[in-house]
Homo-oligomer: A and B are copies of this chain.
Amino acid sequence: MEASAEPEQVAAEGETGRHRRDAEVEFARIVAFSDGVFAIAITLLVLPLDIPKHTQDLAAAVWELDDDIFAYVVSFAVIGKYWLSHHRFYGTLERFDNTLMGLNLFYLAWVVLVPFTSEMLGRFSEDSTSTVAYAAVMAAASGTFVIQIAYAYRRGLMKPEAREAQQRFAGPANLLYTAIFLLSVPVAFASTWVAQGMWLAVFLVGRRAVNWIVERSEPPREEA
């Protein structure tokens, strides 16, 4: 019995899910790898802040970086926020499997693109293409994060005490982010300012609004 279960445990470990307590180093590696990607992506945001080598008037050159600095601030806040959500979500997990790791990689593939769209946003701020690309990448990142949450919820990978809260709060909040970013794509063709205003609004009040609505509209089922 034990012997026949062995090959499966390794070859198909994704099928059953492993408890983080039994695989501490392995669980830690998933978050460590993710943290590494987040940390590098957030630090690469500084690269577009670049002064041409033979600048005569340095002060003027710095002022001309205004759009790049704006893009830096927005993108640092965005990746920072993504990291906080990722931190909170993985804090609720007690199991993981191969599928979750794959979904996480898929999510990180969008996070890694942010330095690219951020540079575009700073350099071509007046062109709607950069706003569209930025919104699309953020929508994809938020969307794939929702998929991770939903998967972990359905497969019972979460700590029991966190399960309900995650589903009621984190799920809807990230769905809202995805929806707003998607919606801002067509808006950006009309006005980049309105599109960016939508991002700012969801950034500042998004989670709070979702919590407020969820708490009022739908009473928890497991009341004692």
Q: Give A residues with C-beta under 8 Å from B.
A: 1-4, 6-11, 13, 20, 23, 25-33, 35-46, 49-51, 53, 55, 58-59, 62, 73, 76, 80, 83-84, 87-88, 90-92, 98, 101-102, 105, 108-109, 112-113, 115-116, 119-120, 123-124, 127, 129-130, 133, 161-162, 164-166, 168-170, 211, 220, 222-224
A174 to B188, CA, bound (A): 43
Docked complex Cα distance between A23 and B92 (Å) = 10
Asked whether, in the complex, the Cβ of B51 is within 8 Å of the Cβ of A112, the reply is no
Most buried by B among A13, A25, A73: A25
List the B side residues contacting A20 at CB < 8 Å.
Answer: 25
Contact assessment for B7 and A164 in the assembled complex, using a CB-CB cutoff below 8 Å:
yes
A21-B51 Cα distance, complex, nearest whole Å: 46
8 Å CB contact of A161 from B9, B27, B101: B9
Contacts of A29 in B (CB 8 A): 31, 35, 87, 90
Q: Once bound together, how far apart are the Cα atoms of A222 and B4, in whole Å?
A: 8
Contacts of A123 in B (CB 8 A): 51, 53
Q: Are A169 and B76 in contact (CB under 8 A)?
A: no
Complex partner residue of A46 from B8, B44, B55, CB under 8 angstroms? B44
Can you give 23 A-B contacts (C-beta < 8 A)? Answer: A1-B224, A2-B161, A6-B162, A6-B164, A8-B165, A10-B166, A11-B165, A11-B211, A13-B88, A25-B27, A25-B91, A29-B31, A29-B87, A31-B32, A32-B32, A33-B38, A37-B42, A40-B40, A42-B108, A46-B115, A58-B124, A84-B105, A87-B101
A206 to chain B, nearest CB (A): 13
In the bound complex, CA of A50 to CA of B109 (Å): 17
Given A3-B220, A37-B42, A62-B129; A165-B10 close (CB under 8 Å): yes
Q: A23-B91, A42-B112 are in contact. Are A133 and B62 (CB under 8 A)?
A: yes
